């Protein structure tokens, strides 16, 4: 926009100065006022006439010039509707899917079984003997009532019983022609499960294995659930076309035209062009419209 002046007397040089109003980037080159592209708002201009030998210099009042930029709106998709789905067995959570995993089971002691329990060796806590037998350490012994006439006869009987009757040991005691035979068998071990299992023979069974989930998972009902594990599949169901204004601080002022606002201030379509009685600067027009 080119500025001109009218009125007043003298032939002193006319210069212009400009400051920002609501527009940013107001500038003057010679008598041409401008703002950057896509900037709307006000620029404040002062015109000054230099003094001459016959006249004193004078400055005008601050005059407001307004710039009003417009451009074509963009036609395209302005709204759309999607449906979301997850893999079979997973749960939809908004636009994400919750996935369930089988937990990992481990045994702090023993061996993992198919029913997610741990089996481990029981501990022998004591020994016991059947009626008629006497406990001695981990063995039971019994003295036979039969009397043997010699040590040799007693030892022969003991060897036969050790081989045929399940004895694990024997001993003979006596003297002369009176000898007695003592036989030994393994005592029955009594087992305990110190970690909470149940005795079954010489093993402990029924101790629950420890369940753990992958990173980010939480265990519930025998399953590990990871919330928002992966993005749901979006299916585009419907959409609407229309005009939009992609540049910041712009509004759709008609069905196809966008206007860039200059913030607070006077109506951008109006300007005050009156300067001073001594010096009047006037613009070629009171508003400027950018390319559309």
Within 10 angstroms of residue 75's Cβ, the number of other Cβ atoms is 11
Give Dmax over CA atoms of the chain in angstroms. Answer: 169
Question: What is the distance between the alpha carbons of residues 262 and 239, in angstroms, rounded to a whole number?
Answer: 33
Same domain for 99 and 230, yes or no, is yes
Question: What is the distance between the alpha carbons of residues 154 and 179, in angstroms, rounded to a whole number?
Answer: 7
Question: What is the distance between the alpha carbons of residues 47 and 50, in angstroms, rounded to a whole number?
Answer: 10
Q: Report strand pairing: 139-148 vs 3-6.
A: unpaired
Examine residue 244 and state whether it is found in any structural domain, yes or no.
no
Examine residue 279 and state whether it is found in any structural domain, yes or no.
yes
Which mean pLDDT values do the consecutive 10-residue runs of the chain (292 residues) have? Answer: 74 89 89 85 90 85 85 79 92 93 91 90 94 95 94 94 88 94 95 88 91 89 90 88 74 76 41 34 33 32
3-state secondary structure 200-228: ECCEEEEEECEEECCCCEEEECCEEEEEE
Same domain for 257 and 276, yes or no, is yes
Q: Which domain holds residue 273?
A: 3-69+251-283
Q: What is the pLDDT of residue 266?
A: 36
Q: What is the pLDDT of residue 285?
A: 31
Same domain for 176 and 149, yes or no, is yes
Q: What is the pLDDT of residue 239?
A: 79
Number of domains in the chain: 4
CB 67 within 8 A of CB 268: yes
Q: Element (H or E) spanning 58, and its range? A: strand 58-59
Examine residue 166 and state whether it is found in any structural domain, yes or no.
yes
Question: What is the distance between the alpha carbons of residues 191 and 32, in angstroms, rounded to a whole number?
Answer: 106
Q: Output the CA angle 14-53-10, nearest 5 degrees.
A: 40
Same domain for 19 and 45, yes or no, is yes
Among residues 232, 234, 236, 226, the alpha carbon closest in space to that of 92 is found at 232
What does the DSSP 8-state code read for residue 163?
H
DSSP H stretches of helix in 40-196? 151-164
Q: What is the pLDDT of residue 248?
A: 62
Q: Output the CA angle 46-52-54, nearest 5 degrees.
A: 120
Token pair belonging to 64: 């407001």
Q: What is the pLDDT of residue 78?
A: 77
Examine residue 276 and state whether it is found in any structural domain, yes or no.
yes
Q: What is the pLDDT of residue 149?
A: 95
Which residue reads 């939480």 in tokens? 218
Q: What is the pLDDT of residue 261?
A: 66
Same domain for 98 and 226, yes or no, is yes
Token pair belonging to 180: 């007695």
Within 10 angstroms of residue 250's Cβ, the number of other Cβ atoms is 19
């Amino acid at each position: 926009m080119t500025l001109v002046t009218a009125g007043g007397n003298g032939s002193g040089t006319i210069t212009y100065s400009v400051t920002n109003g609501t527009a940013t980037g107001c500038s003057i080159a010679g008598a041409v006022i401008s703002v950057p592209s896509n900037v709307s708002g006000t620029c404040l201009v002062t015109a000054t006439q230099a003094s001459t030998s016959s006249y004193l210099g004078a400055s005008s009042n601050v005059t407001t010039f307004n710039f009003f930029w417009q451009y074509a709106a963009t036609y395209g998709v302005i709204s759309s509707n999607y449906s979301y789905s997850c893999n079979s067995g997973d749960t939809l959570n908004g636009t994400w899917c919750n996935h369930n995993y089988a937990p990992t089971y481990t045994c702090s002691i023993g061996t993992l079984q198919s029913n997610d329990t741990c089996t481990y060796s029981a501990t022998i806590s004591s020994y016991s003997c059947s009626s008629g037998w006497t406990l001695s350490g981990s063995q039971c012994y019994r003295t036979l009532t039969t009397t043997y006439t010699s040590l040799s006869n007693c030892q022969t009987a003991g060897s036969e019983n050790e081989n045929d009757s399940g004895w694990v040991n024997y001993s003979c005691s006596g003297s002369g022609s009176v000898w007695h035979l003592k036989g030994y068998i393994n005592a029955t071990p009594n087992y305990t499960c110190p970690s909470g299992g149940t005795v079954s023979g010489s093993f402990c069974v029924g101790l629950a294995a420890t369940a753990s989930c992958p990173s980010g998972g939480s265990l519930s009902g025998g399953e590990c659930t990871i919330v928002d594990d992966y993005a749901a599949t979006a299916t585009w169901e419907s959409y609407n076309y229309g005009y939009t204004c992609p540049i910041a601080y712009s509004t759709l002022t008609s069905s196809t035209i966008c206007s860039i606002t200059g913030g607070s201030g006077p109506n951008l379509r109006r300007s005050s062009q009156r300067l001073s009685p001594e010096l009047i600067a006037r613009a070629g027009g009171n508003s400027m419209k950018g390319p559309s």
